[in-house]
Structure 1
């Protein structure tokens, strides 16, 4: 890999989605099943089971690794030759400047990602430990290649908005699902992580980093995991609006909305329900 790879890739990412958006699209869904139950009185239960992926964090860790200095020179025919002392000193000065730029870029990245250093070889285990400490995460394990197998369940009363996922020290991240109670008793459900522009941005980042890794000859880093699952809402309330393809179906005492989520999902699942 050539020197200065970390800042080059980081600038490309920042140009694509903006610095503030980097932390927003840190987590994306893989294969999953997710369900939201809404019943009278604002009682809710939410579950998410399946994969959560980090947007190329392992690839960034590899790109951020410090490269040792090595002078390289060639003659007019592009044949390798010994460098002169002057050429060595010039290349060393350029290398040191790039290392300083690497350090500044890495520091900015760490701040945006809640203190997570992509060059830390234990970052996956630290993320697992962080999630396990938080209520609702019944199972979290790291499979490798940036993929985490999780089971999350929670329930309660909607006295305030519910967001999933929430990660400590990363308030700006995009949530897969948001559930917001209104003063008129209705509940607004949106799932920006399951479709639409925000989900597309999150999907595009690992794609872009995989392409950069391929240019550097790292074929293993080109593996990409895109959303593939189903989001379901069950409710005994009145469905005021929704953007499913088929509309609600009745199952027993419940009205059911279902969205199929994949890489072609252009619109985030949305519903307004009166309880």
Structure 2
């Protein structure tokens, strides 16, 4: 007689997924939800950037999911000869429960390891603290540009961000104190020849979105699905770049359009049609 531990297989898959996510936390654990974002670059190098909308942080959602489904649930039993489902015997149920209890130490160690990793990624904030998301939001609100940050639950934040500056340096968003994020929403690289390259890696499609691929357990699957992490939002928004400088290159569908601010380029973000991440090369006058 064979007992196939389907529930355990599911949990093991979730544990492997969690480990995969933990490994990704330091690299790409922040992703957009619904948003509107704008960038204005003047030919003298002054710029204004805004982001209003949702930001999803896997560290909080992963912890939320890790605490679920930790109660013992019997696995399905099958007949050896027909592979049909059948009721488990008392002995089989007792063995399942024994194995489950013996694994408790491993489960506790895994949770502690993941919590320690998340604490490091969150700049020392304890992810086991029920107030951790609000503490993190409060920390962000202290930073320049973060006008408002509200935790909506399970890792989903609503933010209002705006900043002004001059492109005598490189710029990236989001930057969070004591947190490493190598999956930026926006990057501005200022070159010595007066050109500025704009890239928006996180606004690309599934091919450039490793967080969603890993979190959803899919290779290059549809990034619009969010069944495995219920609070993971569908990425949906618009990114608009305006400038009075010379546009050397861009990857919009329609190219630069006339605008009171000079020229406008706009990208629709989200959905199956989104593939390449927004890119533009601007020539400043210095």
Which residue of the other structure, out of 35, 40, 55, is the alignment partner of 1:37? 40
Query: Are 2:57 and 1:54 equivalent residues in the alignment?
Result: yes
Equivalent-residue separation in structure 2 for 1:13 and 1:93 (angstroms): 21
Conserved? CA contact 1:139–1:150, under 8 Å: yes
Conserved? CA contact 1:132–1:138, under 8 Å: yes
Equivalent-residue separation in structure 1 for 2:30 and 2:40 (angstroms): 23
Structure 2 counterparts to residues 180-259 of structure 1, below 5 A: 180-196=189-205, 199-208=208-217, 222-259=230-267
Is the alpha carbon distance of 1:220 and 1:247 closer, same or farther for their aligned partners in structure 2, counting shifts above 3 Å?
A: closer
Gaps of 5+ in 2: 1-6, 78-85, 219-226
Conserved? CA contact 2:151–2:157, under 8 Å: yes
Shift of 1:263: 3.0
Q: Which has the higher helix share?
A: 1
Shift of 1:136: 0.5
Is the alpha carbon distance of 1:7 and 1:174 closer, same or farther for their aligned partners in structure 2, counting shifts above 3 Å?
A: farther
Gaps of 5+ in 1: 210-218
Which residue of the other structure, out of 109, 129, 134, is the alignment partner of 1:100? 109
Equivalent-residue separation in structure 2 for 1:199 and 1:50 (angstroms): 21
Is the alpha carbon distance of 1:83 and 1:255 closer, same or farther for their aligned partners in structure 2, counting shifts above 3 Å?
A: closer
Per the normalisation by structure 1, the TM-score is 0.79
Q: How many residues end up aligned between the 2 structures? A: 262
Equivalent-residue separation in structure 2 for 1:43 and 1:59 (angstroms): 39
Equivalent-residue separation in structure 2 for 1:191 and 1:73 (angstroms): 45
Deviation string, structure 1 residues 6-26 (Cα, Å, up to 9, x no partner): 8853532555x782x323322
Look up the SS of the partner of 1:40 in the other structure.
coil
Shift of 1:81: 6.2
Which residue of the other structure, out of 94, 114, 124, is the alignment partner of 2:133? 124
Deviation string, structure 1 residues 22-55 (Cα, Å, up to 9, x no partner): 2332221111111111112211111111111223
Shift of 1:146: 2.9
Equivalent-residue separation in structure 1 for 2:135 and 2:261 (angstroms): 43
Is the alpha carbon distance of 1:261 and 1:77 closer, same or farther for their aligned partners in structure 2, counting shifts above 3 Å?
A: closer
Per the normalisation by structure 2, the TM-score is 0.76
CA RMSD of aligned residues (A): 3.6
